[in-house]
Amino acid sequence: MLRYSLLTAGLMLGASAFAAPAGDLPLMPWPAKVERPATQGALVLSDNISVSVSGDDLGDAVNRLRQRIALQTGWTLQPQADKPDKPTIRIDIAKKVKPQPLPDSDESYTLKVDADGAIISANTRFGALRGMETLLQLIQNGPENTAIPWVTIEDAPRFPWRGLLLDSARHFIPLNDIKRQIDGMSAAKLNVLHWHLTDDQGWRFTSKRYPKLTQLASDGQFYTPDQMREIVRYAADRGIRVVPEIDMPGHASAIAVAYPELMSAPGPYEMERHWGVLKPVLDPTKEATYIFAEAMVSELAAIFPDPYLHIGGDEVDDSQWKQNTAIQKFMRDNKLADSHALQAYFNRKLETILEKHHRQMVGWDEIFHPDLPKSILIQSWQGQDALGQVAEKGYKGILSTGFYLDQPQSTAYHYRNEIVPKGLNNVDVIGDNDSPQSWSFTLPRLKGKPLEGSFTLVKGDSGWRGFIDFAGKSRRAVQNIEWRSDDQVTFTVDTWMGETRPVVTVSTDTLSGYFLLGNARYPVSGKLLDEVPKGIAPVVPDTAQQANLLGGEAALWAENVVAPVLDIKLWPRAFAVAERLWSAQDVNDTDNMYTRLQAMDSWSTVSVGLLQHSQQQAYFTRLANNGDSLPLQILAQAVEPAQYYTRQHLKFQAGNYHQFEPLNRFADALSAESPTVRQMNKWVDRLVSDAEDTESADALRHVFNRWQSNTSDALALSGSNYQLKAIKPVIQEVDKLASIGLRLTDLVARQGTLDDKEIASIQAELDNAAKIQDEVVIAAVYPLETLLRATRNQ
């Protein structure tokens, strides 16, 4: 047997793909070990497939496996015997365990496919379920037949906690939509559904003890105990735990509407429709508060068997506490120094309640306090530094920063997001032969305070390196430093805002330009500093402490998400997050990931039933007034939703950041990133490096010609539906860019150049086209900028 290395059959992998251990099989997450025989072959399948199971009862899993094989092949499978003599697929389980998954459930498995059939061997049912998903991904309808390649796979997850948060509180999610996401989670080998059930804008489950929660604070949209048990069973059948979240003591406006006597201010309260951090907060000094909390824990514990229960605990606005004289006196009497100490007091009592009901506390960063026992689990939205401190102090933690899928970001950004905090590798150590230059910067945002900080670029013996300091956050190394001229520089760095790329001009002692946050430009100003600033070192736990990091969770907060676009926002990007949590750390080649992700995108719609494409098509069809939606599909090739929190902040500025803001625009139908623009970047890079690459030049011309020919049809649609009127300028700009693209492609292909005046004129056109319009960005601007720079450099 040979360790499986990269082959190119059926895939177009760039040279950089050979740096990663992942190969060309359509598998995601990539397994721990994949081997192919020296003489490669395939197990040919027919409609007479049979499956046997030994060692445990997998319930309906075998039927589901056969149904999905039928979907993937288009066959009607022949009935199989109860105990087939020579099964095509054999599933051997070493020991029988309870069907309810636990945090330490064994998910390891091996899969061997040869001429005799396919064998999945696992210690428990949970490993068998994971192996079945791998097997399904391997089934290919080839030129001659349907087959599974001969392969031996040994697999187990890197992290035990691999979750997805679904937010039913802000916009309600029907049961069938939740079940479909559970199917997707199973396919991606995610194993924890974090179900966010309460928030300021709604209480989403029935309480026997406190019925007014759903009577007054749910708008009639809530889950019954039987429905929640149904979700728990559905998830457990697929090896997925369900951890419910109730928010306490903040994010409590819904509680305030139903039971104002529990709050820290008298009210009156009305249903909260706006998004954000709001004032209502439970009163930690009242015994009634803890009676309420125990009732909630008791009722949820009777429904959700998982040992963990999430209590939220984030974003507590303490203004009601500070204004309540009785609470302030209580704090003085109990020697509680500040609001954080008061929240810790509340959490200690809540932890006792949880322990009584045999549950462990999960909460967001804000619950972290030395007065709480080490049994709690911290979920971090504040990032790797906060998580590093948790691990250093001996607490368990999971990461969500960088995995927020409600933010439209590139899949590559999520894929690079490593759970274990990284050090700087001495990038900020200034040697005698180094020449550092530091600039301060101020970046105004559309909502909230401006971002401030500094960055330093260092010219050393081996070239340029650098680092960036955001105020109050740890220092980060920067990548891809490029001086585009004597005074314009760019580099990249991953931040909590997404991939961040400053494009700045440094002249004499001032700095100007913009930071690209994802695809959205934010103007920036600054000045040259006299010396390198002192920074905050990253918090990097040692090897033993890293064992406290249990994994992570993708989060889909629902301010900008409703059920009809749920799949568009999650899939296929969630497969990349799942791989980061399952696969080895050195499975990190981005080009290879995107190749396999494309396979997962197609496979998941057929085999799993995910709806990212049909949901988009439904939106486009509605926007096209039930007519031909092809012009919108073509336009979408050039366009992306504005990334980072740009869309939320624009809604806030316009007074539309609330529950009833229609999520029915062109932007809502778009995927987080344009595959066409990503491919254009590759074609452009190849053409710039080799002007004789006629294949890349022709591919670019084809795209630009298609965009131009689409203009009249897209403009006609924009005039026929008021919901599309705002994208008329976008259509016109894409048409202009197509003309510019054709000209620049021809210039680069023949190694022509432009004078400075014409370059400046085209750059001005590109800058204008890059502006955010109706919450979208024309992402095609960026490959065109690369072409334009090539006309200067030749």
| DSSP state for residue 612 in the 8-state scheme | H
DSSP states of 9-35 as a string?
TT----GGGGGSS--SSS-SSPPSEEE
Burial of 509 (0-12, 13-18, 19+ CB in 10 A): exposed
CA atoms of 690 and 152, how far apart (whole Å): 40
Which helix H or strand E contains 454, and what residues bound it? strand 451-460
Give the angle subtended at the CA of 380 by the CAs of 126 and 245, to the nearest 5°.
65
DSSP alpha helices (H): ranges in 152-286? Answer: 175-187, 212-217, 225-236, 253-258
SS3 sequence of 509-554 = CEEEEEEEECCEEEEEEEEECCCCCCCCCCCCCCHHHHCCEEEEEE
CA R_g for the chain:
28
Residue with tokens 């709001």: 278
> Half-sphere exposure of 180 toward its Cβ, with a 13 Å CA cutoff?
21
List strands edge to edge, sheet with 140-141: 42-44, 146-149, 140-141
SS3 sequence of 396-453 = EEEECCCCECCCCCCHHHHHHCCCCCCCCCCCCCCCCCCEEEEEEEEECCCCCCCEEE
Spatial CA neighbour of 61 closest among 238, 193, 234: 238
**Residue 578 contacts residue 423 (beta carbons within 8 Å):** no
315 is catalytic: yes
Q: Are strands 146-149 and 42-44 parallel, antiparallel or unpaired?
A: antiparallel
Active-site position among 35, 154, 230, 315: 315
* DSSP SS3 for 571: coil
Pseudo-torsion of CA 295, 300, 302, 306, nearest 10°?
Answer: -140
* DSSP SS3 for 312: coil
Which helix H or strand E contains 498, and what residues bound it? strand 498-507
CA atoms of 794 and 61, how far apart (whole Å): 61
Which residues participate in catalysis according to the annotation? 315
